Amino acid sequence: MRTLDLFVPYEFRDPVTRRWLASPGTLLLLMACAAVIVIWVLQKPASLSDPWRALAKFSAFNAISLLSLNFVLSVRARWMERLFNGMDRQYIVHRLTGRAAVLFMLLHPIFLLAHNSFSLEALRTYLVPGVDWPVSLGTLSFVIVCVLIALTMMFRIPYHIWFITHRFMIFVLVLSFVHAVLSGSDVGAYPVMMGALSILFAMGVTSDLYMAFFYRPLNSRKVKVLRKSSFSDILELKLMRPHGFNMEPGQFIFVQFPKVARCEFFPFSISSDQYEDHIRISIKAAGDTTSRLKDAVRKDDVLRILGPYGMFGKNYMSHDRDMIWVAGGIGITPFLSMAMNESIHPTGRRIDLIYAMRGMDDAHYDRELHRESSINRLFNYMHWLSMERGRISAEGIVREIEGDVRDRVVMICGPPAMMEALSSQFRKLGVPTRNIIYEDFNLLGH
């Protein structure tokens, strides 16, 4: 990861994702941030008389506010998902808010040192534990943040290790809040400011406690593995469908594999039809845990699932235009359930599905998609073999399909680099940004 990417991620470079950030949830978040700033300014704190001190206090106030909101944004709830037009968009905002909080946290001590003219006495107060305990608590939270950033930038750590380190951010929030209240800051001197920050702090801590201790026990369901099959680097599981499990085409679930990782849930698209009596997921061996699943999981094993989640299929059902679906690798899975739904409930739209893969050995669902194409004459399926044709491109896709691409809705699911490149190419061909939809299924970040 480049240093700049820590604070200027791809979300700001890609117009499609920027458009999807314009959701009711994002608007509410921006309004909350604006309210925090207005509260700070209207209180006219004494620090305003000194520019460096004012910047230091303002940075601290924003850091705690944004970090609190970041924990709220980590809550996996369907109402939150609807607010942000999908959990993938919610987590994009979650990452951006977290990065903004860290940035303000890093700026706070710099502005304080500038206020004190970088004196040795000020450095001693900040760096020597116990000289001023409220200040030392702030220093400790700053050190924890720096260590977490260093781990992220210097090492490609496995998800379960990253998740454990990520849990330390709640200590950063608590230490920062106590530091702000006890260190003679503006927060402690102005009741309105104190009240606003306390509410945000309580929301953040409550959200973290819910996700840490209550979310999984209250929402997870036990399912049995009905069937296991594998081909190449793909493990396919058919799971018992729990009573009352209502899903829509294109959604995904989080799955826990107790034999491999007792504390982790991993996201996988549902590739079965919504009317079938089982849930099918397809797992590509792409990391430490997923590589071990092929040997570890057995028929009749009991797993836990959370969900379903996802708005990708809802976007498919809400449009009435002809469509182009582009899948890269394991990104084919949400389209499988959508294709089956289109066969059972034909909408009269023309849909062209292009399945990009390295070679025919990777065409794991080729026969299934050809079957759906034979059932629905308006559903046209083709594959793109990169070994023969090179990297998939919008220009190449246009040559394969009928009609004006500018009148189509384009849905893309696959590696982030592929989605970003194709969305840019389709825009150059005249497809409006509002008609390009993709599933940013990488919930852990980029």
Query: Can you tell me whether residue 307 is helix, strand or coil?
Result: strand
Q: CA dist 208 to 67, 167, 168, Å?
A: 11, 9, 11
Lowest mean pLDDT among 11-20, 31-40, 279-288: 11-20
Q: Report how far residue 292's alpha carbon sits from residue 271's, in angstroms, rounded to the nearest whole number.
A: 21
Residues 313-438, CATH architecture:
3-Layer(aba) Sandwich (3.40)
Higher pLDDT, 424 or 439: 424
Six-digit token string for 260: 């491999």
Q: Which class in CATH covers the domain with range 220-310? A: mainly beta
Poorest-pLDDT segment among 6-15, 132-141, 274-283, 356-365? 6-15
Note the pLDDT of residue 11: 53
CA pair distance 165, 158, nearest whole angstrom: 11
**Measuring CA to CA, how many Å separate 234 from each of 350, 363, 442?**
30, 11, 18
Give the pLDDT band (50/70/90) at residue 356. Answer: very high
The share of the chain scoring above pLDDT 90, in percent, equals 37
pLDDT band (50, 70, 90) for residue 15 = low
Query: Which long-range CB contacts under 8 A does 163-166 form with residues at least 24 apart?
Result: 163/263, 163/264
Tell me if 336 sits within 8 A of 245, measured CB to CB: no
Give the pLDDT score at 88. Answer: 84
The closest of 175, 188, 190 to 67, measured between CA atoms, is 175
- The confidence band for 441, taking pLDDT boundaries of 50, 70 and 90, is low
Residues 298-316 pLDDT 10s: 999 999 999 999 888 888 8
Please say if the pLDDT value at position 446 is more than 50. Answer: no
Percent pLDDT > 70 in the chain is 89
End-to-end CA distance of the chain: give it in Å, rounded. 8
**Range of weakest confidence among 14-23, 340-349, 381-390:** 14-23
Rounded Cα–Cα distance for residues 446 and 442 (Å): 7
Mean pLDDT, residues 402-430: 90
Q: Are strands 323-328 and 409-413 parallel, antiparallel or unpaired?
A: parallel
Residue 23 has pLDDT above 50, yes or no: yes
User: Is residue 69 pLDDT above 90, yes or no?
Assistant: yes
Q: What is the pTM of this model?
A: 0.85
> How many helices and strands (H and E) does the chain possess?
19, 11
pLDDT higher at 406 or 17: 406
Amino acid at 137: L
Position 16 scores a pLDDT of 62
Q: Average pLDDT over the chain, rounded to whole?
A: 85
CB 321 within 8 A of CB 349: yes
Q: What span, in angstroms and rounded, lies between the C-alpha atoms of 68 and 36?
A: 12
- Of 72-76, 134-138, 236-240, 421-425, minimum mean pLDDT range: 134-138
Residues 111-126 have a mean pLDDT of 83
Strands 436-438 and 409-413: parallel
Domain boundaries, the chain: 4-217, 220-310, 313-438
Over 60: is that where the pLDDT of 60 sits? yes
Report CA dihedral (279, 280, 284, 285) to the nearest 10 degrees: 70
**Greater pLDDT, 292 or 397:** 397
Look at residue 336 in the predicted model and tell me its pLDDT.
Answer: 94
Distance, in Å, from the CA atom of 372 to the CA atom of 351, rounded to the nearest integer, reads 12
Average pLDDT value for residue range 406-431: 91
The order of strands in the sheet holding 221-231 is: 261-269, 252-257, 302-309, 221-231, 234-240, 278-284
Q: pLDDT of 161-216, one tens digit each?
A: 777 778 889 999 999 999 988 876 677 777 888 888 899 999 999 999 999 999 99
Q: Residue 251 — pLDDT band, cuts 50, 70, 90? A: very high
Element (H, E) at 299: none
Q: Output the CA–CA distances (angstroms, integers) from residue 316 to 105, 156, 408, in the order listed.
A: 41, 35, 12
Structure tokens given for 118: 């970088």
The pLDDT, as a whole number, for residue 4 is 40
More confident position, 80 or 186: 80
What does the pLDDT read at residue 236? 92
3-state secondary structure of 284: strand
Tokens found for residue 151: 């781990």
Given the DSSP bridges, would you call strands 278-284 and 302-309 parallel, antiparallel or unpaired? unpaired
225 in Cβ contact with 239 (< 8 Å): yes
Confidence of residue 252 (pLDDT cuts 50, 70, 90): very high
Instruction: Give me the half-sphere count of Cα atoms (radius 13 Å) on the Cβ side of residue 306.
Output: 20
CA–chain centroid gap for 131, Å, is 41
- 220-310 and 313-438 in the same fold: no
**Location of structure tokens 């080729």:** 366
